[in-house]
Amino acid sequence: MDLLQQRKKKKLSYNISIYLMIVIAYAVVMLLSSQGKISSLFQGLLVPFCTYSILAVSLNLVVGISGELSLGHAGFMCVGAFTSAIFTRYMKFLGVEGLYLFVIAIIIGAFSAGVFGLLIGIPVLRLKGDYLAIVTLAFGEIIKNIANAIYLGFDENGVHLSLKNTMDLGLSDKGFIVVKGAQGITGTPHYSSFTAGVILLLITITIILNLIESRTGRNIKALRDNRIAAESVGISAMKYKLIAFSIASAMAGVAGVLYAHNLTTLTALPKNFGYNMSITILVFVVLGGMGKIRGSIIAAVVLTLLPEMLRGLQDYRMLIYSIVLIVVMIFTSAPSIKQYVEVFKNKFPKLTRNPVLMKKTKKEGK
């Protein structure tokens, strides 16, 4: 029990470090911002930091914790963004506005993206590895393209939906078109703020950290490590992979809500909801470390900030990303490099502490 207690403490301090990191960053930003010391460029990045952090942390649940390669994460973000913006935009048309609508929008975004995750997950999670990656990528693109083609309006007869044009909707005079095809949704109320983003990020992190230390989370990790063994102890692969996938999708949906209500115009572009975005999120996860929540956040923030600071290099952003991704993957998976890391670990045992060893050294030290 001693050892277990020690390990729990270690985990707790890791978790606390994540919360502290976010809370301190938030406090510093708020302080500087109140003194007007923050550039407008940086100010504009505050909500995206939160959006991308939520996306990275939630994709980590699929890729790092569940061990499935998904390239369609931005698609679920798209679902959350559009469903919630349709709601708030229509409410605005009806003359109803207020922050409480944002709370409802978040619930709508999370729920709809979660349901999409579930429905897509059922057929798709039967596949593994590269096949799963390709199919999720395709689904992500499909979602984005559908969002791009939808015309949606309301009138006294209810909802009107078309994939052709605004005329095809057949709205009455009192009707209102919310989604205009490729032009998307314009005039979305601006509900997102850095504070809201930080709160949502904290909630996301709490859910994930609690999940991975619960029965469900352990079952998910067991399936990742050895599916056959997990089934031999009675764990249903489909059930737990689906749980991980839909929770992550719902969280991506929340990121979408945050994204949509930070802009006045919401359109589905390859840049924001396409595979480019999905891969960018994957880069955050890979660079931050598989299964490492804190790493995902740091990677998301740093890699969102960096290209903005190097505006001149904007065109090369994806190129730099790809190169960095390849380099990191080589470093983390090549056996020869792993060997070097092992040698390094053996030379400096203190840097790479093993809990069992740590106990001994601590006692001797006292």
Binding site for another protein (CB under 8 A): 1, 3-4, 6-7, 207, 210-211, 214-219, 221-222, 224-226, 228-236, 243, 354-356
Q: To the nearest whole angstrom, how small is the minimum distance from the Cβ of residue 211 to another protein?
A: 5
Q: Phi and psi (nearest 5°) for 154?
A: -125, 145
Residue with smaller CB distance to another protein, 137 or 230: 230
Q: To the nearest whole angstrom, how small is the minimum distance from the Cβ of residue 215 to another protein?
A: 5
* DSSP character at residue 39: -
Q: To the nearest whole angstrom, how small is the minimum distance from the Cβ of residue 170 to another protein?
A: 43
Residue with smaller CB distance to another protein, 66 or 88: 66
Nearest-angstrom CA–CA distance, 88 and 100: 10
Q: Phi and psi (nearest 5°) for 238?
A: -60, -45
Distance, C-alpha 162 to centroid of its chain:
30
Q: To the nearest whole angstrom, how small is the minimum distance from the Cβ of residue 13 to another protein?
A: 15
Phi/psi zone of residue 17: left (φ > 0), alpha (ψ -120 to 50 degrees), beta? alpha
Q: To the nearest whole angstrom, how small is the minimum distance from the Cβ of residue 306 to another protein?
A: 30
Q: Around Cβ 99, how many Cβ atoms within 10 Å?
A: 10
Report whether 92 contacts 189 (CB < 8 A). Answer: yes
Residue with smaller CB distance to another protein, 186 or 216: 216
* Secondary structure (3-state) at 348: coil
Q: To the nearest whole angstrom, how small is the minimum distance from the Cβ of residue 128 to another protein?
A: 17
* DSSP character at residue 96: -
Supply 21's token pair: 């990191």
Report whether 125 contacts 258 (CB < 8 A). Answer: no
Nearest-angstrom CA–CA distance, 207 and 168: 43
Residue with smaller CB distance to another protein, 215 or 311: 215
Residue with smaller CB distance to another protein, 166 or 216: 216
Residue with smaller CB distance to another protein, 104 or 235: 235
